[in-house]
């Protein structure tokens, strides 16, 4: 079955290294808590808010073992007034036998406020 796994995080500065580090951190957490392997992933869409433009976050994922063949696309998040700043969001499309309620979505740092209704968000500490 194909399922979507959401993830998001924030950075404090628009710098390549911080965007890379944050993107890798949230992707590794998504992979770990959902027991995913790169071969399970159909594709990944990454968006960033318009205040982040120092690099393409997809380049960060290509540094992870096994991700060189995973299609990744970057886009700009819709600029909604008063929305969360300096935010990186991931939509990871995976092949899994898990039911939707068993998928663990990952929200780190300032992004924990995006989906407080999700159980992992409530359990995950802001980093």
Question: Which residues are known catalytic residues?
Answer: 6, 62, 74, 77, 89, 107, 115
Asked whether residue 126 carries a pLDDT value surpassing 70, the answer given is: no
CATH top-level class of 2-123: alpha beta
Return all residues near 108 (Cβ < 8 A) that are at least 6 apart. 7, 8, 9, 10, 22, 25, 26, 29, 124, 126, 127
The pair of structure tokens assigned to 28 is: 């590794």
Question: Per the annotation, does 89 bind a ligand?
Answer: yes
Position 125 scores a pLDDT of: 44
User: How many CB atoms lie under 10 A from the CB of residue 78?
Assistant: 9
Position 11 scores a pLDDT of: 98
Position 115 scores a pLDDT of: 77
Asked whether residue 120 carries a pLDDT value surpassing 70, the answer given is: no
Question: Per the annotation, does 67 bind a ligand?
Answer: no
Q: What is the Cα–Cα distance from 70 to 73, expressed in whole angstroms? A: 10
Question: Per the annotation, does 107 bind a ligand?
Answer: yes
Per-domain boundaries in the chain: 2-123
Q: What is the mean pLDDT of residues 69-86?
A: 95
Question: pTM here?
Answer: 0.90
């Amino acid at each position: 079955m194909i399922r979507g796994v959401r993830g998001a995080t924030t950075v404090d500065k628009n710098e390549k290294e911080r965007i890379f580090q944050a993107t890798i951190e949230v992707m590794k957490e998504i992979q770990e808590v959902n027991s995913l392997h790169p071969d399970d992933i159909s594709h990944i869409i990454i968006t960033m808010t318009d205040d982040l433009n120092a690099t393409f976050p997809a380049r960060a994922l290509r540094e992870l073992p096994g991700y060189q063949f995973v299609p990744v696309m970057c886009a700009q998040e819709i600029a909604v007034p008063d929305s969360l700043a300096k935010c990186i969001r991931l939509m990871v499309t995976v092949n899994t036998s898990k039911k939707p309620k068993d998928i663990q979505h990952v929200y780190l740092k300032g992004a924990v406020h995006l989906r407080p209704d999700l159980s992992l968000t409530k359990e995950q500490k802001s980093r």
